[in-house]
Every structure is written in structure tokens, then in C-alpha cells.
């Protein structure tokens, strides 16, 4: 039996709606940083020692 579905569309309105979607052309939209990360008291205390914990430039 011949397949006539490509010639006679069952629901032309449905097909028109399917073909009506905007073009596929993705573009990244990264979320922006709007809130400062809360810093604990400990992080303030440790801040003074931070250079000592960092590797030297030569490493």
C-alpha cells in the first residue's frame, strides 16, 4: 500500500504550528553575579594568613 502521508497531511493546521517555531540558533546567556557571597568570620580571620598559604611564584 502506498504511503500518502507526505502528500495528504492529516492536520495542516498542526503542521503549520509545528513549522512556526523560531529558528534554531542557540546563544549562551550566562547567569550574572548579583549577590556577594556571604563571608564567615573565620574567612576574615584567615585572610591575614592567606599569602603564607599561597604557593610561591616560582612553583
Chain residues that interact with other proteins, rule: CB under 8 A: 13, 16-17, 20-36
* Smallest separation, CB 36 to other proteins (Å): 6
* Smallest separation, CB 58 to other proteins (Å): 32
Cell of 51: 599569602
Nearer to other proteins, 3 or 11 (CB): 11
Task: Look up cell 507526505; give the residue.
Answer: 6
Cα separations in angstroms, 7 against 11, 20, 29: 12, 20, 41
* Smallest separation, CB 56 to other proteins (Å): 30
Amino acid at each position: 500500500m502506498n504511503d500518502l502521508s507526505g502528500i495528504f497531511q492529516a492536520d495542516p493546521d498542526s503542521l503549520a504550528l509545528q513549522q512556526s517555531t523560531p529558528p534554531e540558533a542557540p546563544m549562551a546567556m550566562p547567569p550574572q553575579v548579583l549577590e556577594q557571597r556571604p563571608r564567615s568570620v573565620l574567612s576574615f580571620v584567615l585572610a591575614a594568613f592567606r599569602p603564607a598559604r599561597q604557593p610561591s611564584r616560582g612553583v
